[in-house]
Structure 1
Amino acid sequence: MLEPVKKRRLYEEIMFQIRGLIMDGRFLPGDKLPSERDLATTLGVARSSVREAIRALELLGFLESRQGEGTFIKSHSGTEMIESLALLILKEKDTLDNLFEVREILECETARLAAERASEEDLERLEMILSRADKTVKEGTIPLTEDTEFHYALAEASGNEILVRVMHTIGDFIRKGKEGSLTLPGRPQKSVKDHYEILYAVKDQDGERAREAMRNHLKKVKTDLFGE
């Protein structure tokens, strides 16, 4: 559930935690949000920070306040949810810019190493993950788990244990970036297609092609998020 907040811009971190619980279905439309006092105690922050986060989520359409009753989770249409997420993505733009720089540094070389070192077992695992992702997309569901697994499996196929540890260490940041991008219309289908291009290069043991395929994938994701 909710976790104590330690970051500088407290209200934004509170906002993203509550948003995450709504997106995960742990807060459902019509549910009443805990009181400001209870949230402040759980999160270990001042009530003023909680109040600011709630106000921001109201403006984005995630919450609604009812006088004398409290704050409730608001029902969304798919379009409204995407628009709200787009606003949140823009709020995180600086962080995501940094994340894409780190991902390009790490993951392009990861793909190259995987092409040079992947075992048959690694290739089978990558194939299975993409097969599941393809099925998930066709069922109309966001393949967040499969998308994340693919990148981790690629790191493991590189044969570099330190690289694998680094990828898992920054996993929470990567997952946040994926959570935002994969909600965009058409993005899941594009990501699966990009991942297959990376896999084909890895299977062909073409390191340079695998690196460029990963670079192109990250560039397209960033463009879909922020535009040219």
Structure 2
Amino acid sequence: MSTIFKKVRLQKVSEEIANQIRNLIKDGKLQSGEKLPPERIFSEMFGVGRSSLREAINILETQGFVETRKRQGLYISSLSKLIISDPLRQILEEDKEKLIQLYEVRKDIELASIMAAAEHRTKADLEKIKQILKKMEVDMKNGTIGLSDDLEFHLAIAQSSHNIFRSHILKNIFDISDNDLQYVINIMVGDKANIMKLFEQHQNVFLSIEKKDSSSARMMMAEHLEWVEQKWKIFIQQHSN
């Protein structure tokens, strides 16, 4: 019987760092696409040498939890990237009509997220959404709304639902359709009335979350997503074979 037991081994510093980062990702405290501190600052935060930190990062990169982007730094990876992969991106490139099916999945996730966010959001969650909305308001007054701000707004809501799978899968949906998303947003912001409508819809969503009114939040998000879906259908009609 003694052969089934192994001697206890003290955990290496690098493994302890890797476990800590994994747990922060699992708990939703580190989100997909979030940039991690530079190596020197990061090692000081842990109180360890750079070699131990590098070893931990290598472990996490191998496991797919983090990624190093050339000339940009270290980022949290999307946990769903193996679920939604390059072959699916290729399908969307070849058949634009499949974008509507992808948008349906996005709606399913976002409508579930908005209700959970309205119920479970924290003050910190609300402040994050509010800051994104403020930036969108400045852009609107300048006659535009950027894609990155729009996507950050929706991701912040998914993150506020405190379900890491929702936020990671939604981020990946955005990633594989980024070129088409940019094209559609360009169409919408070409009309000042659309820009104002887009901001108004985001503002209504925020106010419902702020009031913790889940039914109103869902209704506001559904109205927004259905309005955008009509823009998608126009885009697909123009680009389908």
**Residue 213 in 1 paired to residue 216 in 2?**
no
Which of the pair has the greater relative contact order for Cα pairs under 8 Å at 6+ separation? 2
Q: 1:9 to 1:132 in 2, by over 3 A?
A: closer
| Match for residue 143 of structure 1 among 146, 149, 162 | 146
Once superposed, what is the RMSD of the aligned Cα atoms?
Answer: 2.5
2: CA distance, partners of 1:118 / 1:9? 32
Name 2:11's counterpart in structure 1: none
Contact 1:137–1:143 (Cα < 8 Å) also in 2: no
Larger Rg: 2
Q: 1:103 to 1:8 in 2, by over 3 A?
A: closer
Q: 1:163 to 1:123 in 2, by over 3 A?
A: same
Contact 2:145–2:195 (Cα < 8 Å) also in 1: yes
What's the CA shift for 1:211?
Answer: 1.1
Contact 1:142–1:183 (Cα < 8 Å) also in 2: no
**Residue 175 in 1 paired to residue 181 in 2?**
no
* Matching residue's letter, 1:211: R
Q: 1:117 to 1:176 in 2, by over 3 A?
A: farther
Name 2:113's counterpart in structure 1: 110
2: CA distance, partners of 1:99 / 1:92? 12
% identical aligned pairs: 28
What's the CA shift for 1:105?
Answer: 0.7
Q: Structure 1: any 5+ residue segments left out of the alignment?
A: 1-5, 14-90
TM-score (ref. length: structure 2): 0.54
2: CA distance, partners of 1:173 / 1:142? 21
- For residues 198-228 of structure 1, the C-alpha deviation after alignment (integer angstroms, 9 at most, x for no partner) is 111111111111111111111001123435x
Name 1:66's counterpart in structure 2: none
- For residues 128-181 of structure 1, the C-alpha deviation after alignment (integer angstroms, 9 at most, x for no partner) is 101101111222344111101001100111111221221222221353443132
TM-score (ref. length: structure 1): 0.56
Q: 1:151 to 1:189 in 2, by over 3 A?
A: same
